[in-house]
Amino acid sequence: MYKILSAVYLIILITCPLRAQEFGTEGVWETGGGISFASITAVVDGESVDNSLNEFKLFIPVFYFVTNGLEIGLVPSFELYSMGESSTIGFGFYPAIAYNINLESNIYPYIEGRIGYQTISTSTGSDDVTLDGLGWSILGGIKTEIGGNILLNFGLGYAQQTLENESWEGERSGKNLIAFNIGISMFLGKD
Protein backbone atom coordinates (compact mmCIF):
# COMPACT_ATOMS: atom_id res chain seq x y z
CA MET A 1 0.00 0.00 0.00
CA TYR A 2 2.86 2.39 0.86
CA LYS A 3 4.40 1.86 -2.59
CA ILE A 4 1.09 2.64 -4.31
CA LEU A 5 0.61 5.86 -2.31
CA SER A 6 4.20 6.91 -3.03
CA ALA A 7 3.71 6.29 -6.76
CA VAL A 8 0.46 8.32 -6.86
CA TYR A 9 2.12 11.17 -4.97
CA LEU A 10 5.11 11.17 -7.33
CA ILE A 11 2.86 11.13 -10.44
CA ILE A 12 0.91 14.15 -9.14
CA LEU A 13 4.10 16.13 -8.54
CA ILE A 14 5.66 15.21 -11.90
CA THR A 15 2.61 15.73 -14.14
CA CYS A 16 1.42 19.09 -12.75
CA PRO A 17 3.41 22.18 -13.79
CA LEU A 18 3.98 23.65 -10.34
CA ARG A 19 5.04 27.04 -9.03
CA ALA A 20 4.86 28.76 -5.68
CA GLN A 21 1.60 30.61 -5.11
CA GLU A 22 -0.20 32.32 -2.25
CA PHE A 23 -1.15 29.78 0.43
CA GLY A 24 -4.82 29.02 0.93
CA THR A 25 -6.06 29.89 -2.54
CA GLU A 26 -7.95 27.69 -4.98
CA GLY A 27 -5.73 25.37 -7.02
CA VAL A 28 -2.88 25.18 -4.48
CA TRP A 29 -1.43 21.84 -3.33
CA GLU A 30 -0.14 21.43 0.23
CA THR A 31 2.05 18.47 1.12
CA GLY A 32 4.67 17.65 3.70
CA GLY A 33 5.09 15.56 6.77
CA GLY A 34 4.61 15.66 10.48
CA ILE A 35 5.02 13.81 13.71
CA SER A 36 2.67 13.31 16.62
CA PHE A 37 3.31 12.21 20.19
CA ALA A 38 0.35 10.97 22.19
CA SER A 39 -0.65 9.57 25.55
CA ILE A 40 -3.43 7.03 25.03
CA THR A 41 -6.06 5.58 27.32
CA ALA A 42 -6.98 2.12 26.06
CA VAL A 43 -10.64 1.06 26.04
CA VAL A 44 -11.50 -2.65 26.28
CA ASP A 45 -15.09 -3.85 26.13
CA GLY A 46 -16.33 -0.35 26.94
CA GLU A 47 -14.07 0.17 30.01
CA SER A 48 -10.89 2.26 30.36
CA VAL A 49 -7.70 0.33 31.12
CA ASP A 50 -5.23 1.53 33.78
CA ASN A 51 -2.07 0.99 31.68
CA SER A 52 -1.43 3.80 29.25
CA LEU A 53 0.15 3.55 25.82
CA ASN A 54 2.73 5.80 24.23
CA GLU A 55 2.33 6.54 20.54
CA PHE A 56 4.69 7.98 17.95
CA LYS A 57 3.07 8.73 14.59
CA LEU A 58 4.51 9.91 11.27
CA PHE A 59 1.98 11.27 8.78
CA ILE A 60 2.40 12.46 5.20
CA PRO A 61 -0.64 14.54 4.16
CA VAL A 62 -1.46 15.64 0.61
CA PHE A 63 -4.13 18.36 0.32
CA TYR A 64 -5.66 20.35 -2.54
CA PHE A 65 -7.51 23.67 -2.13
CA VAL A 66 -10.88 23.29 -3.86
CA THR A 67 -11.71 26.90 -3.02
CA ASN A 68 -10.04 29.68 -1.05
CA GLY A 69 -9.43 28.42 2.50
CA LEU A 70 -11.00 24.95 2.03
CA GLU A 71 -8.80 21.96 1.25
CA ILE A 72 -9.45 18.24 0.89
CA GLY A 73 -6.87 15.52 1.02
CA LEU A 74 -5.52 12.16 2.09
CA VAL A 75 -3.44 11.53 5.21
CA PRO A 76 -1.56 8.21 5.37
CA SER A 77 0.08 7.51 8.72
CA PHE A 78 2.69 5.12 10.09
CA GLU A 79 2.56 4.43 13.80
CA LEU A 80 4.61 2.87 16.59
CA TYR A 81 2.98 2.02 19.92
CA SER A 82 4.73 0.93 23.10
CA MET A 83 3.43 -0.29 26.43
CA GLY A 84 5.93 -1.75 28.83
CA GLU A 85 8.20 -4.09 26.86
CA SER A 86 5.84 -4.70 23.95
CA SER A 87 5.58 -2.65 20.77
CA THR A 88 3.17 -2.59 17.84
CA ILE A 89 3.36 -1.15 14.33
CA GLY A 90 0.33 0.37 12.61
CA PHE A 91 -0.82 1.98 9.38
CA GLY A 92 -3.73 4.36 8.81
CA PHE A 93 -5.34 5.97 5.78
CA TYR A 94 -7.59 8.99 6.35
CA PRO A 95 -9.50 11.17 3.87
CA ALA A 96 -9.54 14.67 5.40
CA ILE A 97 -11.02 18.14 5.05
CA ALA A 98 -9.55 21.35 6.49
CA TYR A 99 -10.36 25.03 6.60
CA ASN A 100 -7.56 27.62 6.82
CA ILE A 101 -8.26 31.22 7.87
CA ASN A 102 -6.33 33.88 5.96
CA LEU A 103 -5.36 36.62 8.44
CA GLU A 104 -3.53 38.61 5.75
CA SER A 105 -0.24 37.73 7.46
CA ASN A 106 2.10 34.74 7.58
CA ILE A 107 -0.10 32.97 10.18
CA TYR A 108 -3.06 30.77 9.19
CA PRO A 109 -5.26 29.25 11.94
CA TYR A 110 -6.88 26.00 10.78
CA ILE A 111 -9.32 23.29 11.78
CA GLU A 112 -9.19 19.81 10.26
CA GLY A 113 -11.28 16.66 10.40
CA ARG A 114 -10.28 13.13 9.38
CA ILE A 115 -12.14 9.84 9.14
CA GLY A 116 -10.67 6.60 7.88
CA TYR A 117 -9.26 3.13 8.40
CA GLN A 118 -6.43 1.87 10.59
CA THR A 119 -4.74 -1.48 11.12
CA ILE A 120 -2.13 -2.57 13.65
CA SER A 121 -0.05 -5.75 13.89
CA THR A 122 1.88 -7.21 16.77
CA SER A 123 3.70 -10.44 17.55
CA THR A 124 3.09 -11.97 20.96
CA GLY A 125 5.37 -14.97 21.11
CA SER A 126 3.92 -17.60 18.78
CA ASP A 127 0.84 -15.58 17.81
CA ASP A 128 0.53 -12.72 15.35
CA VAL A 129 -2.38 -10.42 16.14
CA THR A 130 -3.96 -7.98 13.68
CA LEU A 131 -6.59 -5.45 14.73
CA ASP A 132 -8.34 -2.93 12.51
CA GLY A 133 -11.27 -0.56 12.37
CA LEU A 134 -12.51 2.94 11.68
CA GLY A 135 -11.22 6.08 13.32
CA TRP A 136 -11.87 9.79 13.31
CA SER A 137 -10.08 12.86 14.57
CA ILE A 138 -10.46 16.60 14.78
CA LEU A 139 -7.56 18.97 15.24
CA GLY A 140 -6.80 22.62 15.12
CA GLY A 141 -3.79 24.87 15.28
CA ILE A 142 -1.74 27.32 13.30
CA LYS A 143 0.36 27.18 10.16
CA THR A 144 3.14 29.74 9.96
CA GLU A 145 4.77 30.66 6.66
CA ILE A 146 8.52 30.57 7.37
CA GLY A 147 9.90 31.39 3.95
CA GLY A 148 8.87 31.19 0.34
CA ASN A 149 6.36 28.40 0.16
CA ILE A 150 7.23 26.55 3.42
CA LEU A 151 4.86 26.25 6.38
CA LEU A 152 5.52 25.18 9.96
CA ASN A 153 2.45 23.58 11.53
CA PHE A 154 1.54 23.31 15.25
CA GLY A 155 -1.69 21.69 16.38
CA LEU A 156 -3.62 19.87 19.06
CA GLY A 157 -6.11 17.12 18.31
CA TYR A 158 -8.52 14.54 19.70
CA ALA A 159 -9.17 11.14 18.10
CA GLN A 160 -11.16 7.97 18.64
CA GLN A 161 -10.16 4.75 16.90
CA THR A 162 -11.80 1.35 16.97
CA LEU A 163 -9.36 -1.59 16.83
CA GLU A 164 -10.92 -5.03 16.91
CA ASN A 165 -10.37 -8.44 15.36
CA GLU A 166 -12.98 -10.06 13.07
CA SER A 167 -14.51 -12.21 15.82
CA TRP A 168 -14.98 -9.42 18.40
CA GLU A 169 -18.56 -9.27 19.74
CA GLY A 170 -18.32 -6.97 22.78
CA GLU A 171 -18.59 -3.20 23.04
CA ARG A 172 -16.08 -0.92 21.31
CA SER A 173 -12.38 -1.64 21.81
CA GLY A 174 -9.77 0.80 20.63
CA LYS A 175 -8.26 4.03 21.82
CA ASN A 176 -9.11 7.61 22.67
CA LEU A 177 -6.26 10.07 22.44
CA ILE A 178 -5.22 13.68 22.73
CA ALA A 179 -2.12 14.54 20.71
CA PHE A 180 0.20 17.45 20.00
CA ASN A 181 1.25 17.63 16.34
CA ILE A 182 4.13 19.42 14.69
CA GLY A 183 4.91 19.33 11.00
CA ILE A 184 6.40 21.06 8.03
CA SER A 185 4.83 21.39 4.61
CA MET A 186 5.19 23.16 1.32
CA PHE A 187 2.50 24.63 -0.89
CA LEU A 188 2.54 24.73 -4.65
CA GLY A 189 0.05 25.92 -7.26
CA LYS A 190 -0.44 25.11 -10.92
CA ASP A 191 -0.97 27.39 -13.89
Residues pairing with 74 in the sheet: 62, 95
pLDDT of residue 17: 41
Q: Domain spans of the chain?
A: 2-190
pLDDT of residue 185: 93
Predicted TM-score of the model (pTM): 0.74
Contacts of 189 (CB under 8 A, 6+ apart): 18, 19, 20, 21, 22, 25, 27, 28, 29
pLDDT of residue 44: 77
- Reading the chain (191 residues) residue by residue, the pLDDT tens digits are 556 655 555 555 444 444 445 888 999 999 998 887 777 777 777 777 766 677 788 889 999 999 999 999 999 989 887 776 677 888 999 999 999 999 988 899 999 999 999 888 876 666 777 888 888 999 999 999 987 889 999 999 998 877 767 677 777 777 778 888 888 999 987 54
Classify strands 47-59 and 62-67 as parallel, antiparallel or unpaired: unpaired
pLDDT of residue 136: 92
CA distance linking residue 56 with residue 42, whole number of Å: 15
* Answer CATH for 2-190 from 2.40.160.20, 3.40.1160.10, 3.30.300.30, 3.40.50.300: 2.40.160.20
Q: Over the range 33-45, which residues count as b (16 or more CB within 10 Å of their CB) and which as e?
A: ebebebebebbee
